[in-house]
């Protein structure tokens, strides 16, 4: 096994990790600000993947072009789910549990709606440029993952910029850190929650599009992606965008290293074990507070 | 505020209570006998299949509720134990041709061992983290089984049906699953009324306070987890035989997790009657919808129902409909 | 009976308890007072095993209990109440106490026997009339009695009371003081209590420890401690000299 093979594997892992990071950032956002454990987060990623797929296959629109539109669409979807489900759930005695169970229901509904209309067969998003690779020395880096990774980094950067450099974004952060204080200075918590949730779902959708460029997807894949969302969030801590991004890259790195030596399935088992260990000894995550 | 009842009144109240209980017992026995005797009238096979499914879900939901409703630890990993049982019987039948039903118990034992291993770290986690970890258990096991040669990986395992006519086959499984459901329900009811149950309920109400009462919380949780796993494993073992085919996407299906949880919440997860009613009503409806309309539609409806139940009726639909506050009674007289 | 030697506990940068020594002898009623945030409840949490001590040890009847789990400490005979009462809301009053009786030091197996004993405990705290009432519908003073009943139900020899008297009116305070003595005299239980209500402390305790910022400020008989200038300053602030 050559060194370049291992490095190739690691790079693939890192690219994937970046996308997992984007997938998880929104999840941490809702958990941190609203104490909502949105188990339906990943299903919207699958939805995003499907929508990008249909735009490409039926209308010939490249996913890079359709992405902004899809992001808006999914933001609206998030807003709808917020109004219908999330808002009521935040009033429960045990918000975390109630939101988890309720969003579990939402996830199953959306998964099966997709399955019903679009059938459970795997699809893959393959615009022509994903067929080739760029070469660094002896190593080949497939263009699909690379573009997906770039999308992810861009989206994370945008999210970060939004949270730290816009008025609304700062309002979100304020509510995160001190809900009562934020409300007292005139920040409307409902407003903030709606935007937060919408952004969260939108980012999930974007991540789904990025993922679709790499792997085949189908409705029931959402539960596997949910697993990765948990992993990244718990490793990175529910605290920050940067923490989640780093956690995603770390997990990607681990996946890359393991995939070079182990069958893929055992990589997942390893990650599960790692997650359990972290949960037991440092539930606030490696980077969280 | 003292209240006093005369000696006489107390006697009559006690007498009435006894009478009431005897009536309920007789009713219960009659229904049970009716169910056991049902196949005698040679009903269409469809009904036997339908009821098999109902009994199975009753067994699964009641066993889930030991940890879920009584202890307050919502597990989405119950199907992992169910599947362990199913795969145990499948492998034994497929590879060794061992006689049926005995291996179902073995399946339950394997499931218990799994529960013991997994429970040790996982039960230390609280609330949401526990649930997430339990879900991870199911997902990871599914992935492993999909890629594991020995259990047939993604093709699944086929094995021989019992060497009898299909009608007799269906009747045998009907009776077996009915017995299993009855035993499990009675067992869960017994736990609820026992000291063990009182301890679990205390943990649900306030785990820290439970500790100060001298309750060994890790050990009690582990017992509930292992017992629930064992029962689910046995149910899975019987199911495995019935289907004569196991596949990871079928046995580890996340939708089953949803259904089990929904049935418990729907019927009311605080007492033994809740899962029974919830499972009976919802699995019946589920089977009918799946058969006549489609699996996805059924799941969509159930997902919606779960959302509605959680938002509007946290104590369970049955209780909501009765309009009465469910006050838990340890060692309850039902 | 209960002794702490150099008990320390910190939370991150905050030193909740520093080198606290204390001794409560069998049959005593001892008080622990101090301004808010001085570490009193933290001490109780360390004693009952909810937090580990960072350094130092806690000894019960001469044996070290510092690293023990809460349920083990309960089984050894130390019971506690919580500052903000925590009844098991979903259960009736009787069931609350019965569960404690079953799992307490008597380790009873039979539900009926457990209920019988629970009823005795309820009679002792005069809550037996409400035995079938859901714990949720009790008023504050009754909830405190329930909390107490639950602690007594495990048949302890040592009782930690955390601010039992808060929020009670004068009559209720007098009743509670009587009950405390009853617990000590009739049940032979040693009592260590955290209190803010000075009337109650003066009326019950034969010895008081004073904590401030996690450090022992004073120790002694109530009359002595109440005259201690450092203690007065801790509560009322520095006296301004004109």
Per-domain residue ranges of chain C: 2-77+156-236, 88-142
**Do the domain assignments include residue B238?**
yes
Residue A289: its pLDDT value, please?
Answer: 47
Which chains pack against A, by 3+ Cβ pairs within 8 A? B
> For B323, phi and psi rounded to 5 degrees?
65, 25
DSSP string, C191-234: EEEE-S-HHHHHHH-SEEEEEETTEEEEEE-HHHHHH-HHHHHH
| Cα angle, residue A62 at apex, residues A60 and A66 outer, rounded to 5° | 105
Structure tokens at B315: 């104590």
Asked whether the beta carbons of residue C86 and residue B202 sit closer than 8 angstroms, the reply is: no
Distance from CA of C126 to the nearest CA of B (A): 11
Decide: residue C202, CB within 10 A, 0-12 exposed, 13-18 middle, 19+ buried: middle
How confident is residue B145, by pLDDT bands cut at 50, 70 and 90?
Answer: confident
Q: Indicate the SS3 state at residue B38.
A: helix
A269 vs B296: CB contact, 8 Å cut-off? no
CA pair distance A282, A235, nearest whole angstrom: 9
Low-confidence ranges of chain C (pLDDT < 50): 242
CA distance C171 to B175: 66
Give start and end residues of each alpha helix (H) in chain A: 3-34, 41-59, 63-81, 87-89, 95-118, 143-165, 167-177, 179-184, 189-212, 222-236, 241-261, 264-281
CB count within 10 Å of CB A162 equals 16
Q: Is B76 helix (H, G, I), strand (E, B) or coil?
A: coil
Q: Lowest mean pLDDT: which of A250-259, B98-107, B232-241?
A: B98-107
Q: Would the CB atoms of A97 and B296 count as touching at under 8 Å?
A: no
> Which residues neighbour C21 within 8 Å (Cβ) at sequence distance 6 or greater?
C4, C5, C6, C7, C216
Express as a percent the part of chain B with pLDDT over 90: 42
List chains touching C (3+ CB pairs under 8 A): B
| Other C-beta atoms lying within 10 Å of the C-beta of residue B258 | 22
Q: Which of C44, C49, C80, C91 to mutate to test the interface with B (most CBs of B within 10 A)?
A: C91
CATH of domain C2-77+156-236: 3.40.50.300
Cβ separation B254–A108 shorter than 8 A: yes
Chain A residues with CB under 8 Å of B310 CB are 89, 92, 98, 101-102, 105
Q: Would residue B284 count as lying in a domain? A: no
B168 within some domain: yes
Size of chain A in residues = 289
Query: Which residue range(s) make up the domain with B143?
Result: 43-252
Mean pLDDT by 10 residues, chain A (289 residues): 81 90 91 88 95 90 88 94 89 82 93 93 83 75 84 87 82 76 78 89 93 90 90 80 87 87 77 77 62
pLDDT at B326: 44
Q: What is the pLDDT of residue C161?
A: 93
Q: Is the pLDDT of residue B324 over 50?
A: no
Reported as a single tens digit per residue, the pLDDT across A78-124 is 999 999 998 888 887 778 888 888 999 999 999 999 999 998 889 88
Contact call for A and C: 3+ CB–CB distances under 8 Å:
no
Which residues from A are below 8 Å from B294, CB to CB? 116
A106/B249 touch (CB, cutoff 8 Å), yes or no: no
Confidence (pLDDT) at B317 = 60
Q: Give just the sign of the alpha carbon dihedral B233, B238, B241, B244.
A: negative
With a cut of 50, say whether residue B325 has pLDDT above it: no
Nearest to B202 among C88, C130, C151 (CB): C88
ipTM for the predicted complex: 0.89
Q: How confident is the model at residue B78 (pLDDT cuts 50, 70, 90)?
A: very high
Q: Which residues are bridge partners to C220 per DSSP? A: C208
Integer-rounded Cα radius of gyration of chain C: 18
Whether residue B303 and residue A112 make contact (CB cut-off 8 A), yes or no, is yes
Q: Which pLDDT score is estimated for B316?
A: 60
Q: Please check whether residue B52 lies inside any domain of the structure.
A: yes
Q: Which two tokens stand for residue B144?
A: 């492993």
What is the reported pLDDT for B260? 94
Nearest CA in chain A to B146: A265
Nearest to residue A248, comparing CAs of A151, A132, A133, A156?
A156
Are residues B327 and C134, on separate chains, in Cβ contact within 8 Å?
A: yes
Strand order in the sheet with C63-64: C14-24, C2-11, C55-60, C63-64
d(CA B117, CA B107) in angstroms, rounded, equals: 16
Predicted confidence at residue A283, as pLDDT, reads 66
Rounded to a whole number of angstroms, the distance from the CA of B327 to the nearest CA of chain C is 6
Q: Does the pTM exceed 0.95?
A: no
The residue among A21, A95, A54 whose CA lies nearest residue A245 is: A21
pLDDT for the residue B318? 57
Residue B277 counted as domain residue: no
Angle at C214 between CA C210 and CA C215, to 5 degrees: 60
Rounded Cα gap, residues B252 and B233, in angstroms: 13
Decide if A258 touches B, using CB distance below 8 A: no
Minimal CA–CA distance to B131: which of B68, B208, B180, B198? Answer: B68
CA distance C149 to C135: 12
Residue B166, number of CB atoms within 10 A of its CB: 10
Residue A134: count other Cβ atoms within 10 Å of its Cβ.
Answer: 10
B296 located within any domain: no
Please state, in angstroms and rounded to a whole number, the distance separating the CA atoms of residues A261 and A256.
9
**Helix B166-193, helix B195-205: angle, nearest 10:** 70
Q: For A210-243, how does the pLDDT look when each residue is reduced to its tens digit (9 = 90+)?
A: 999 888 899 989 988 998 998 888 888 776 788 8
Cβ within 8 Å, pair A104-B304: no
């Amino acid at each position: 096994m050559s060194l370049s093979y291992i490095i190739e594997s690691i790079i693939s892992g890192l690219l994937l990790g970046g996308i997992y990071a984007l997938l998880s950032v929104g999840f941490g956002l809702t958990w941190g600000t609203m104490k909502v454990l949105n188990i339906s987060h990943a299903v919207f990623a699958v939805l995003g993947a499907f929508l990008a797929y249909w735009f490409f296959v039926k209308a010939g629109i490249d996913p890079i072009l359709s992405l902004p539109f899809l992001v808006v669409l999914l933001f609206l979807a998030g807003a709808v789910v917020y109004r219908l489900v999330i808002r009521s759930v935040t009033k429960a005695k045990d918000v975390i549990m109630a939101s988890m169970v309720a969003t579990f229901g939402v996830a199953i509904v959306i998964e099966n709606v997709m399955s019903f209309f679009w059938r459970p067969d795997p699809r893959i998003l393959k615009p022509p440029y994903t067929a080739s690779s760029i070469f660094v020395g002896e190593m080949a880096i497939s263009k699909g993952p690379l573009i997906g990774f770039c999308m992810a980094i861009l989206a994370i950067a945008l999210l970060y910029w939004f949270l730290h450099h816009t008025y609304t974004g700062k309002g979100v952060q304020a509510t995160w850190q001190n809900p009562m204080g934020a409300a007292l200075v005139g920040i409307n918590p409902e407003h903030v929650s709606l935007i937060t949730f919408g952004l969260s779902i939108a980012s999930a959708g974007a991540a789904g599009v990025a993922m679709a460029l790499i792997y085949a997807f189908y409705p029931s894949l959402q539960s596997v992606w949910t697993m990765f969302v948990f992993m990244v969030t718990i490793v990175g801590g529910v605290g920050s965008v940067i923490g989640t991004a780093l956690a995603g890259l770390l997990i990607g790195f681990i996946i890359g290293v393991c995939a070079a030596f182990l069958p893929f399935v055992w990589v997942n088992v390893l990650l599960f074990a790692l997650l359990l260990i972290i949960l037991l000894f440092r539930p606030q995550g490696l980077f969280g507070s | 505020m003292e209240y006093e009842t005369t000696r006489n009144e107390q006697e009559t109240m006690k007498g009435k209570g006894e009478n009431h209980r005897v009536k309920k017992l007789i009713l219960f026995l009659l229904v049970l006998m009716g169910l056991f005797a049902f196949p005698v009238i040679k009903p269409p096979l469809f009904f036997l299949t339908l009821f098999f499914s109902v009994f199975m879900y009753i067994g699964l939901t009641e066993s889930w509720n030991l940890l879920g409703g009584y202890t307050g630890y919502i597990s989405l990993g119950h199907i992992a134990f169910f599947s362990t049982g199913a795969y145990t019987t499948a492998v034994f039948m497929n590879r060794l041709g061992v006689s049926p039903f005995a291996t179902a118990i073995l399946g339950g034992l394997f499931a218990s061992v799994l529960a013991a291993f997994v429970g040790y770290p996982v039960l230390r986690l609280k609330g949401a983290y526990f649930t997430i970890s339990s879900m991870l258990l199911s997902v990871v096991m599914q992935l492993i089984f999909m890629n594991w040669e020995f259990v047939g990986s993604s093709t699944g395992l086929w094995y021989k049906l019992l060497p009898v006519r299909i009608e007799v086959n269906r009747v045998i499984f009907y009776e077996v699953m009915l017995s299993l459901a009855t035993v499990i329900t009675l067992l869960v009811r017994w736990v609820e009324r026992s000291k063990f149950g009182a301890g679990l309920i205390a943990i649900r109400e306030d785990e820290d306070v439970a500790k100060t009462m001298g309750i060994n919380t890790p050990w009690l949780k582990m017992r509930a987890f292992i017992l629930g796993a064992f029962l689910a494993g046995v149910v899975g073992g019987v199911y495995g035989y019935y289907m004569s085919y196991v596949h990871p996407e079928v046995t580890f299906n996340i939708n089953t997790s949803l259904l089990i949880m929904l049935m418990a919440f729907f019927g009311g997860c605080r007492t033994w009657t809740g899962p029974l009613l919830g499972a009976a009503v919802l699995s019946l409806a589920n089977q009918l919808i799946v058969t006549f309309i489609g699996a996805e539609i059924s799941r969509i409806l159930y997902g919606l129902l779960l959302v509605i139940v959680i938002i509007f009726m946290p104590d369970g639909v049955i209780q909501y409909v009765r309009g009465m506050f469910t006050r838990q009674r340890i060692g309850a007289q039902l | 009976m209960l002794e702490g030697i150099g008990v320390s506990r910190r939370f991150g940068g905050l030193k909740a308890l520093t080198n606290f020594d204390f001794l409560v002898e069998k049959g005593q009623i001892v008080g622990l007072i101090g301004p808010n945030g001085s570490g009193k409840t933290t001490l109780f949490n360390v004693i009952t095993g909810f937090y580990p001590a960072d350094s130092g040890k806690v000894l019960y009847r001469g044996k070290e209990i510092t690293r023990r789990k809460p349920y083990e400490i309960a089984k050894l005979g130390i019971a506690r109440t919580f500052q903000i009462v925590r009844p098991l809301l979903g259960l009736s009053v009787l069931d609350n106490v019965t569960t404690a009786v079953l799992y307490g030091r008597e380790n009873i197996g039979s539900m009926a026997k457990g209920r019988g004993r629970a009823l005795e405990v309820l009679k002792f705290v005069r809550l037996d009339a409400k035995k079938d009432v859901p714990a949720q519908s009790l008023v504050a003073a009754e909830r405190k009695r329930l909390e107490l009943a639950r602690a007594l139900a495990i048949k302890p020899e040592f009782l930690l009371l955390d601010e039992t008297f808060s929020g009670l009116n004068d009559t209720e305070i007098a009743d509670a003081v009587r009950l405390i003595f009853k617990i000590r005299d009739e049940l032979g239980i040693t009592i260590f209590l955290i209190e803010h209500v000075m009337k109650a402390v003066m009326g019950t305790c034969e010895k008081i420890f004073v904590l401030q910022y996690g450090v022992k400020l004073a120790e002694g008989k109530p009359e002595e401690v109440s005259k201690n200038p450092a203690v007065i300053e801790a509560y009322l602030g520095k006296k301004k000299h004109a």
